Structure 1
């Protein structure tokens, strides 16, 4: 979900990942996750999104599977990937499965009406980016 919003800035040998402006990055995430383009992020689309992280196809996503997927193209997101995994792992059992997806979807669905609108999705991700900005490069200035 996160990778389409990554903006990389190469400064010498350093790479900074910057998701600002957060609302724009969250919009990009929504657009990339709303597979049928109906302007609603459905529970089925959430499950489709997580299927790509399930490297061994067992129906569960381990922290290792998720972190490996995220950091393969952007190693600098290692700590951020762990924070995201913790957010997704609502049950706290160190595996993502249907139970976690149900509970995570409920977190996204701010008005509890059974569907996640673009605004609910964006609001959730903006708060998440803000809460984790120390893990994804924000605030690292003075380089260059």
Structure 2
């Protein structure tokens, strides 16, 4: 599930319309909303992190991240634009810039996405946050 989220940016780069963008973000949101309550709670974010922490050291290295992307999205990683977007997304998610995605990095993503600080990320908050990331990655 985590890599559905991580695949969001390259998919957005390929989106041709606002409708495509909405469908892509909604699909990722739905994949992360394990209890189908139309909100993503912190424990739901933890679940997908644990899925991709390959050696259970409580962090995801760039190598683990790249291997998971290659495994889960083999057709997409042959395009240099998409490969670059994946690399840039890792750097965005690595909030403390130590070369790993760790729970505290995802805590920062969660806090930033939770606009009203109520402990959950709604669909609207999710859309807003990832639209901002997309603009940042594309425009620099």
Common fold by TM > 0.5: yes
C-alpha distance in 2 between matches for 1:126 and 1:62 = 25
Larger deviation, residues 73-82 vs 27-36: 73-82
**TM-score, reference length from structure 1:** 0.74
2:76 matched to 1:71? no
Once the two structures are TM-superposed, the CA of residue 2 in structure 1 deviates from its matched residue by: 4.0
Cα displacement (A) at 1:25? 1.0
- Distance in 1, matches of 2:26 and 2:51, equals 20
SS of the residue 1:116 aligns to: strand
Structure 1, unmatched stretches of 5+, are 8-16, 135-144
- In the alignment, what sits opposite 2:113? 108
How many corresponding residue pairs?
A: 126
SS for the counterpart of 1:44 is helix
Aligned equivalent of 1:127:
132
Q: What is the correspondence of 1:42-61 to structure 2 with a 5 Å cutoff?
A: 42-61=41-60
How far did 1:4 drift?
Answer: 7.7
Distance across 2 between alignment mates of 1:103 and 1:87: 11
Alignment of 1:6-25 (within 5 A): 18-20=14-16, 21-25=20-24
Instruction: Report what 1:98 is aligned to.
Output: 103
Unaligned 5+ runs, structure 2: none
| Deviations 1:35-74, CA, capped at 9 Å, x for gaps | 1101111111111122232222222111111122113322
Aligned CA distance change for structure 1 residues 27 and 117 (closer, same or farther; 3 Å)? same
SS in 2 for 1:41: strand
Q: Deviations over 1:3-42 (max 9, x none)?
A: 48976xxxxxxxxx72343222111110111111011111
Decide whether aligned partners of structure 1 residues 122 and 25 sit closer, same or farther in structure 2, where only a CA change above 3 A counts. same
Aligned Cα RMSD in Å?
2.4
**Residue matched to 2:123:** 118
- Say which SS state the counterpart of residue 38 (structure 1) adopts: coil
In the alignment, the residues of structure 1 paired with residue 59 and residue 130 of structure 2 have an alpha-carbon distance, to the nearest angstrom, of 23
Check whether the contact 1:54–1:60 (CA below 8 A) recurs between aligned residues: yes
